[in-house]
């Protein structure tokens, strides 16, 4: 607490309520949360959105970045297209509510779910300190718990899906206490403290360490298709055609997340009859961005192995990179 008393005094009375709230909660009794997925952040899952801490019309995550959306109440843990992961209880508790049976697919275009089911399939767990953890967008039919069940930290409760209002496969984890959404990265109630007010994370040490190591841009996915693809098409893998020797084009694509203005994205693709690259200077912060390079191949795609690589550089340093290969037989 002494660490941020200085900022409270400096910023005056408006922040007193935040400080008082924190004292009432009490550091000793406050629950600590582990990750809501069995995954390694930065490798096979990624924080795509944080809580929107901006109380006004703008958006801001707790680091004053833009990795959030207006009024976003939780933290979105995203998995790459086509991947799957168990959703885990973030602490010991009792299941208070469950919902299943909602369609499980990412939406494209106008929002097409009934009011009140934006969360899709999900559940709420009440913890010993009275905080509730809410998990949204689970795969239909994957819930393994029922109302009233007791769960332990780390217990699998379902699978990551794309039910409710979501453009990508992820679990939305929200923490709610006394009717307020709490940002697990600071412990502050949403909208009650500006993004530059230091707080105290509610993660377990292990989760905090993994999350800190995974900050920054990432290459979420990359591959080849026979035409340019969209992010929704990548998420909904069934709608994307695959490349064969008879395809008349070969398009390499890569999807990067959490890029900042000034970052340089470099996409290269090579193989028999193909050697193309593209460099792109990012002009504004973007939660996700897709790049393409490719070529028409009117005689079909030559047999052999093709390689695609995408890197994200910041101030001349490579922050993230991945590559993948495709063999046409």
- Among candidate residues 99, 131, 125, 133, the one with its CA nearest the CA of residue 114: 99
Find the shortest distance in angstroms from Cβ 257 to Zn ion: 14
Find the shortest distance in angstroms from Cβ 120 to Zn ion: 11
Find the shortest distance in angstroms from Cβ 232 to Zn ion: 17
Part in contact with Zn ion (CB under 5 A); list of ranges 40-48, 69-77, 143-151, 286-294? 69-77
Determine the residue with CB nearest Zn ion: 172
Report d(CA 2, CA 24) in Å as an integer.
16
Q: Do residues 67 and 258 touch, judged by C-beta distance below 8 A?
A: yes
Spatial neighbors of 322 by CB under 8 A, at least 6 apart, are 219, 222, 254, 309, 310
Part in contact with Zn ion (CB under 5 A); list of ranges 71-79, 87-95, 231-239, 244-252? 71-79
Find the shortest distance in angstroms from Cβ 251 to Zn ion: 30
Residue 261's SS3 state is coil
Q: Which is nearer to Zn ion, 140 or 172 (CB)?
A: 172
- Among candidate residues 202, 182, 204, the one with its CA nearest the CA of residue 193: 182
Q: Which is nearer to Zn ion, 143 or 171 (CB)?
A: 171
To the nearest 5 percent, what fractions of the chain are helix, strand and coil?
10, 40, 50
Q: Do residues 219 and 312 touch, judged by C-beta distance below 8 A?
A: yes
Q: Which is nearer to Zn ion, 172 or 225 (CB)?
A: 172
Q: Which is nearer to Zn ion, 171 or 240 (CB)?
A: 171
Tell me 45's DSSP state.
Answer: B
Residue with tokens 């028999």: 272
Find the shortest distance in angstroms from Cβ 161 to Zn ion: 13
- Total interface residues for Zn ion by CB under 5 A: 2
Q: Kindly write out the interface string for residues 164-183 of this chain, putting x where it contacts Zn ion by CB under 5 A and - elsewhere.
A: --------x-----------
76: contact with Zn ion by CB under 5 A: yes
Part in contact with Zn ion (CB under 5 A); list of ranges 75-83, 211-219, 224-232, 307-315? 75-83
Tell whether the torsion through CA atoms of 294, 300, 302 and 303 is positive or negative: positive
Q: Which is nearer to Zn ion, 18 or 174 (CB)?
A: 174
Interaction site with Zn ion (CB under 5 A): 76, 172
């Amino acid at each position: 607490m002494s660490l941020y008393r200085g900022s409270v005094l400096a910023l005056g009375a408006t922040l007193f309520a935040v400080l008082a709230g924190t004292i009432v909660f009490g550091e000793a009794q406050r629950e600590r949360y582990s990750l809501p997925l069995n995954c390694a952040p930065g490798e096979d899952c990624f924080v795509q959105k944080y809580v929107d801490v901006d109380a006004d019309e703008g958006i801001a995550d707790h680091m004053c970045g833009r990795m959030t959306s207006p009024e976003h109440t939780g933290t979105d843990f995203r998995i790459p297209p086509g991947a799957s992961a168990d959703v885990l209880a973030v602490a010991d508790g009792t299941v208070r509510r469950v919902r299943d049976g909602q369609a499980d697919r990412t939406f494209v275009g106008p929002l097409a779910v009934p009011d009140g089911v934006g969360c899709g399939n999900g559940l709420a767990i009440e913890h010993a300190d009275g905080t509730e953890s809410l998990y949204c967008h689970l795969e239909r039919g994957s819930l393994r718990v029922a109302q009233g069940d007791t769960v332990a930290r780390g217990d699998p409760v379902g699978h990551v899906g794309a039910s409710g209002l979501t453009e990508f496969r992820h679990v939305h984890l929200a923490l709610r206490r006394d009717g307020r959404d709490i940002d697990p990265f600071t412990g502050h109630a949403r909208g009650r403290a500006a993004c530059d007010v230091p707080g105290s994370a509610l993660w377990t040490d292990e989760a905090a360490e993994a999350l800190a190591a995974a900050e920054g841009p990432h290459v979420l996915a990359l591959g080849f298709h026979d035409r340019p693809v969209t992010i929704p098409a990548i998420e909904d893998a069934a709608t994307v055609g695959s490349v064969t020797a008879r395809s008349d084009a070969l398009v390499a694509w890569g999807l990067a997340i959490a890029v900042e203005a000034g970052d340089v994205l470099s996409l290269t693709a090579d193989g028999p009859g193909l050697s193309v690259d593209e460099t792109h200077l990012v002009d504004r912060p973007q939660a996700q961005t897709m790049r393409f390079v490719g070529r028409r191949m009117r005689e079909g795609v030559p047999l052999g192995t093709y390689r695609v690589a995408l890197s994200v550089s910041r101030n001349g340093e490579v922050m993230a990179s991945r590559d993948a290969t495709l063999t046409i037989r």
